[in-house]
Amino acid sequence: MSPAREVDGHRYDVIVVGAGPAGTLVAKRLGDQGWRVLVLEAGTRTLDTWPGHLDAMNTFYSSLIKVPNSPYRANTAAPSPNVLDTVPGKDGGYRAVGYLVQNGALPYGTDYVRADGGTFLHWLGLTPRMLPEDFKVRTDYGYGRDWPLGYDDLQPYYCEAEREIGVAGDAAEQAEAIGLPFPEGYVFPMHEIPSSYVDRVMARELNGKSVTDPVAGRQVPLRVVNTPHGRNSTPNPDYDHGRGYRPVGAAGLPNYGERCVGNASCTPICPVQAKYNPLKTQARWSPKVTLVDRAVVSRVLVGENGRVTGVEYQAYDDPAAPVATTHTVEARIVVLAAHAIENARLLLASEAANSSDQVGRNLMDHPVMLTWGLMPGQVGPFRGPGSTSAFENFRKGDSRKKHAPWRLVIANWGWTWTAGSPGSDVAAKLGIPASATDPRGDAVYGQRLREELGHDIGRQIAFQFELEQDAESRNQVTLDPKYRDGLGNCRPVLTYDLSDHVKEGMRAATDVSHQIFGLLGADERTAYSPDTPSYFRYRDEPFTFFGAGHGAGTHVMGDNARTSVVDQWQRSWDHANLYLVGCGSMPSMGTANPSLTMAALALRSVDQIHRDLMDLHRPLVVRPVPLGGDTHPTEVRP
């Protein structure tokens, strides 16, 4: 009998739905505290062994298009979306052809992975913190939604998350260049990942100069700042008050991957596992934690008193065969950590937690606008992680009232994202056309081919403008019984668009990009094609954008049960023992890659879950009831 069927009818302290980054951390902490935790994972757990990792590597090597999900095998029982699922429409626009059904004005281009380890299997591994001002965008800048908590509330949990993930970075520079507050004397567990040569060329050419933000009408100083990473670097002996830090190696192969060696394929897969993934944390789970894979949770079960009693799940055996048996399992507390879109899908399917009508709404991402060009000289792309530095000054300030802010990320992987380099460059030089029906062009070979490739590829630069998207209730996940997956579960139906606030940001970013290419003396090659699924025009200018893989905002937190889904602990307003953790709880995302903040929020929730469990387990003490009271004596707790 499969393990998924064995736990049928059992009772745990906590059920965690989803063995991705958030669920894994929650299970780790609760297991360490002695609670019996069951983690239900919809996908498979092949990758938690070294042979499984090698299989993913080989799948990646042999795939024709190296997209984020290419190393991870298909699963018909628990399908995942793919960035290739949005294709150009017949008469412009786009069509969605994959797991996600889409009917919005613009395509939602973000994917995720339903497998043990979750989307952290292909995260880029950047761990910037959000800015203190990011938590109050409605009050201060008039867009999106405010958080019910602030940077100071998250500070200790940011530090804890940086320990669990193993962050490499320069805290002093983060404080000085960005203005981030840290505890006195704080350092990250590891020294920063060395800035790439591309970064250093940028710093040499641009530091101290400034560009004009034409929309907000202000000068923005340029400064290249090293980004904190969730990947192994040189441990800092000063960490943890001089106790230091031991980098955590690969899952399934001890003493491997203790340093990043610059393979530059972080997304979709780090070959040596120097990049953090949840499987490393799972290797240190307490025996109190049970992981059951191939268990697709289909419903959250709610009892008469509004409390959640457990979950219903479908156990399957073969990922190629969508055949399952249905079971239930019970717990005192249920934690959904299945990804923003999957959490929303599950809640909508369960008709739970939605008295506010906000479940599924406020779907967000970081729309990524790419610009690219050729430098006059060699800059050595394709060395180091996908990105090691960024310009951070566009993230903050009053210009946020005029347009969406962005993080201006310097890419180390040339035109990979924009044009599929270097493979596409080789194909072009060989005269191989983009379409099999086009005639083959002239080709160069041998030494000349190598020289021309080196000359061009070595000069490629690209910028990734990662814009903040404001929460809008019209951007949402809904269900339609017409659209179902192999096990009969409703697939998510997405309605998505960008606000004018974001589009104004893209307009400003385009102009800033032109100015930077000018300062660099670079040959800008940015071109937005109407054939791109995300193509749109705004104020007569063409734009395209990509998803960042930062799905968020489908069960937002707030300080009011009528207008938000969860409270500041990510606890459902409607069901006191149901927690919804992950980026779905974020009411706004700022411009920081959200993983670190998600981890910090999850760790903060664990503290509250622990308190709830203590309350639930403490024996009752029978006490006299004050006269006139209508409470049963045994309901009185100490």
The β-bridge partners of 10 are none
Q: Of all helices (H) and strands (E), which one includes residue 95? A: strand 94-96
Which residues, 206 to 235, sit near other proteins by CB under 8 A?
234-235
Per CB under 8 A, the segment of 246-254, 501-509, 542-550, 579-587 that binds other proteins is 246-254
**Alpha-carbon torsion, ordered 276, 280, 281, 283, to 10 deg:** 180
In the complex with other proteins, the residue whose CB is nearer, 191 or 610, is 191
In the complex with other proteins, the residue whose CB is nearer, 239 or 415, is 239
In the complex with other proteins, the residue whose CB is nearer, 13 or 48, is 48
258 binds other proteins (CB under 8 A): yes
**Token pair listed for 310:** 């457990």
3-class secondary structure, 152? helix
237 binds other proteins (CB under 8 A): yes
Among 182, 186, 256, 417, binds other proteins (CB under 8 A): 256
In the complex with other proteins, the residue whose CB is nearer, 258 or 425, is 258
CB 619 within 8 A of CB 638: no
458 binds other proteins (CB under 8 A): no
In the complex with other proteins, the residue whose CB is nearer, 83 or 251, is 251
432 binds other proteins (CB under 8 A): no
Q: Of all helices (H) and strands (E), which one includes residue 37? A: strand 37-40
Measure the CA angle with vertex 605, ends 230 and 332; round to 5°.
130
553 binds other proteins (CB under 8 A): no
Residue in this structure with the two tokens 């008039």, named with its chain if needed = 142
Residue type at 15? I
Per CB under 8 A, the segment of 24-32, 239-247, 394-402, 552-560 that binds other proteins is 239-247
**Token pair listed for 513:** 């990009």
**Token pair listed for 46:** 């092949």
Residue 134 CA, distance from chain mean position:
17
Among 65, 97, 175, 246, binds other proteins (CB under 8 A): 246
Among 254, 454, 521, 530, binds other proteins (CB under 8 A): 254
Among 18, 249, 373, 381, binds other proteins (CB under 8 A): 249
* Residues contacting residue 357 through CB under 8 Å, at least 6 positions apart: none
Pairing of strands 37-40, 308-316: unpaired
Among 9, 142, 244, 431, binds other proteins (CB under 8 A): 244
Terminal C-alpha separation, the chain: 44
CB 76 within 8 A of CB 322: yes
In the complex with other proteins, the residue whose CB is nearer, 79 or 249, is 249
Among 253, 444, 449, 625, binds other proteins (CB under 8 A): 253
In the complex with other proteins, the residue whose CB is nearer, 163 or 191, is 191
| Binding footprint of other proteins, residue count (CB under 8 A) | 19
Per CB under 8 A, the segment of 253-261, 390-398, 448-456, 528-536 that binds other proteins is 253-261
Helix count and strand count (H, E) for the chain: 15, 22
Residue type at 238? D
Q: Which residues bind other proteins (CB under 8 A)?
A: 50-51, 54, 191, 194, 234-235, 237, 244, 246-247, 249, 253-259
